[in-house]
Amino acid sequence: MSSFRERNCVAEVLGFTYPKLHEGKKWFVDFFALAPASGEMRRKKYHIDNIPKIGERRKKAAEIIAVTLKKLRGGWNPWVNTQESRGYTLLSDVIDRYIGYIERKSRKKTKHTYQSRINILNQYLSSCVLPIKYAYQFDGAFINDFLDWLYLDRGVSERTRNNYRGWCYGFAEFMVSRKYIENNPVEHIPQLDEKKKISCFYFGLPGAKRRYST
């Protein structure tokens, strides 16, 4: 396998390439790391031209490579601000932690209800052409689209749609409390009016009775 293909394989698995020293007209250490916002690999450089002696440059490069590789292996990403780092947690990992939480804290009936709603959320994600990947993407636009999919595409009732809104609110609160997102985006999503559905079987025949269902 060529060196280029090897680097691509490493990047695909790890999300970064190994830092490497480049010697020539310009001396620098570089590597590529996945930028979560764009989903693309971006190049990061550390220039060491300002060090006059060649031996000192190589020594500095070795230090940079060792420190940078250790940080990368520990989950550090140069394209993610420290304050935002938890927002780039995989949504699937957040859901797994949420499931673990409700397994410990909820009653059997509640667990079943929440698991059912998580299953529906996962169905929606799998139906998206570009499904969200990170926690920070669980925002108002995504939740509105999810609720519209339930109400318009799957044809659930106003009450069921509102129940899912309530569940999304609770899930978002879980995320806020653990710093995956800053604010609860569901607060700005209104509930639908739950109109009574009336079906009448009255044909004006003798002895016929009206029947109503809500």
CA distance 44 to 71: 14
- Average pLDDT score over the chain: 83
Taken in order 59, 64, 66, 67, the sign of the CA dihedral is positive
Quick one: which of 159, 189, 195, 153 has its CA closest to 171?
189
For the stretch 171-208, pLDDT in tens is: 999 999 999 998 999 999 999 998 754 444 334 444 44
The 3-class SS string of 48-110 reads CCCCCCHHHHHHHHHHHHHHHHHHHHCCCCCCCCHHHHHHHCEHHHHHHHHHHHHHHHCCHHH
Under the banding of pLDDT at 50, 70 and 90, the label for residue 132 is confident
Q: Give the alpha-carbon dihedral of 30, 31, 34, 37, to 10 degrees.
A: 0
**47-90 pLDDT tens trace:** 999 999 999 999 999 999 999 998 888 778 888 765 567 888 88
Strands 20-22 and 40-47: unpaired
Domains and CATH numbers, the chain: 3-80 (no CATH), 89-188 (1.10.150.130)
Report, as an integer, the average pLDDT of 94-110: 84
